[in-house]
Amino acid sequence: MWTEKYRPATLDDIVNQKEIVERLKSFVQARNIPHCIFAGPPGTGKTTAALCLAHDLYGEGYREYLMELNASDERGINVVRETVKTFARTRSIGEVAFKILILDEADNMTDDAQQALRRTMERYTETARFILIANYSGKIIEPIQSRCAPFRFTYLPREDMVNRVRHICKEEKLKIMEDGIDAILEVSEGDLRRTINILQAAASIGKPIDAETVYSVIGRANPYDVREMLKLAINGDFIGSRNKLRELILKYGLAGSDIIKQVHLEIFRLNIPEKWKVKLADVVGEIDFRLIQGSSEEIQLSALLAKLSEAGYDIKRGF
């Protein structure tokens, strides 16, 4: 996978997040790091920075001093009590006195697990340093935050994204059109990992990459595109749109909040009278609020689809 092939190996290779990288380099020089929180949107280099830091600190054999856990796969309190503890308390044998534990998607950890983690972090500081990676640092409990140095990762500037895409195309001997690059950047929303995944899928088709290729890849890669579902609802096929919704939630595992975010975006792209867009945004907002209060995402989103069907009926009759 190109996301791995072109992942920077050392801190020097990272062209972005300059201030963060500078500070990480100073840790390497000092042969010491604090516990850290890397927070920021997906695909902005958090995991890469952590891996590069470890690489620079321990050299090529860095994997021996590193443990990677992903909280959304191993989020229970038992993981913290057993796996993490076992790793943290055994002393490192190299010239660096501690090992590094990367805890990805830490904002998905249960509160219990976070509480357990807090003690572990304190007790084994001598032998282990933690890097917590999260989209939102706010979901990490206060006591942990106060024990960590915070680093905020920001979206990559467009220019850097373009350079990265061009670099990969050159290495892979790909022909890419201007509009192809534009299209990729438009849909990847500043997420470099997604950018590269789209690029590789587009390249697999074997033609010069233009906007059309990119959009066809996106179309097929995103069965969880909500547009189809919205269309069915607006055209009065509520049952069809509910089935689609079911697929998104149950088959593709989309979260209700993701779906409603996309629905909100799409409302303004629909070919309906302007005043309806605003009305519908209001309806979406109400359902978004209910999602938080209710207990079932599908029920709330279905109610939204029924509202859209109703609106579609009115719009058709010229209201």
Partner 1 sequence: MKLATISKEDFNLYSPWTDKYKPRTISEVVGNKEAKEKIIEWVREWDRKIPKKRALFIYGPPGVGKTAAVEALANDSNMEFIESNASDYRTAEAVKKVAGRASEHATLFGKKRLILFDELDGITGSADHGGVRVITEIVKETRCPLMLIANNAYEPRFSTLRNYCVLIEFKKPSKSDILKYLRKICLGEGMEVEEEALSFIVERTGGDVRSAINDLQALAQGKKQLTYQDVSWLAGRDRKEVIFYVLRSILYARDSTGAKMAVNAADIDPDMLFEWIYENVPYHLKDSKELATAMDALSRADIYRGRVRSTQNWTLIRYFLDLMTAGVAASWSKRSPGWVPFRFPGRIRYLSSEKADRAMLSAIGMKIRRRCHISSVQAVKEVIPYLRIIFENNPEMAAGIAKWLDLDEDMINYLNK
What is the number of other CB atoms lying within 10 angstroms of the CB of residue 260? Answer: 20
Q: Minimum CB separation from partner 1 for residue 123, in Å?
A: 27
Q: For partner 1, which is the closer residue by CB, 124 or 188?
A: 188
Q: For partner 1, which is the closer residue by CB, 253 or 318?
A: 253
Q: Minimum CB separation from partner 1 for residue 159, in Å?
A: 24
Note the residues at the interface with partner 1 (CB under 8 A).
Answer: 1, 3-4, 47, 51, 68, 70-73, 104-105, 193-194, 197-198, 200-201, 203-206, 217, 220-224, 236, 238-239, 242-243, 246, 250-254, 287, 290, 293-296, 298-300, 302-303, 305-307, 309-310, 312-313
What is the distance between the terminal CA atoms of the chain, rounded to a whole angstrom?
51
Q: Minimum CB separation from partner 1 for residue 222, in Å?
A: 7
Q: Is the dihedral of CA 291, 293, 299, 305 positive or negative?
A: negative
Q: C-alpha angle with apex 165: 266 to 44, nearest 5 degrees?
A: 65
Q: Minimum CB separation from partner 1 for residue 194, in Å?
A: 7
Question: Locate tokens 């055209």: which residue?
Answer: 235
Side-chain-side CA neighbours of residue 30 (13 Å) = 9
Q: For partner 1, which is the closer residue by CB, 124 or 224?
A: 224
CB 110 within 8 A of CB 77: yes
Q: Minimum CB separation from partner 1 for residue 126, in Å?
A: 27
Q: For partner 1, which is the closer residue by CB, 124 or 217?
A: 217
Q: For partner 1, which is the closer residue by CB, 132 or 198?
A: 198
Q: Minimum CB separation from partner 1 for residue 99, in Å?
A: 17
H helices then E strands: how many in the chain? 16, 5
Q: Which residues make Cβ contacts (< 8 Å) with residue 242, sequence separation at least 6?
A: 302, 305
Q: For partner 1, which is the closer residue by CB, 120 or 213?
A: 213
CB 156 within 8 A of CB 16: yes
Cα separation, 108 vs 74, in Å, equals: 10
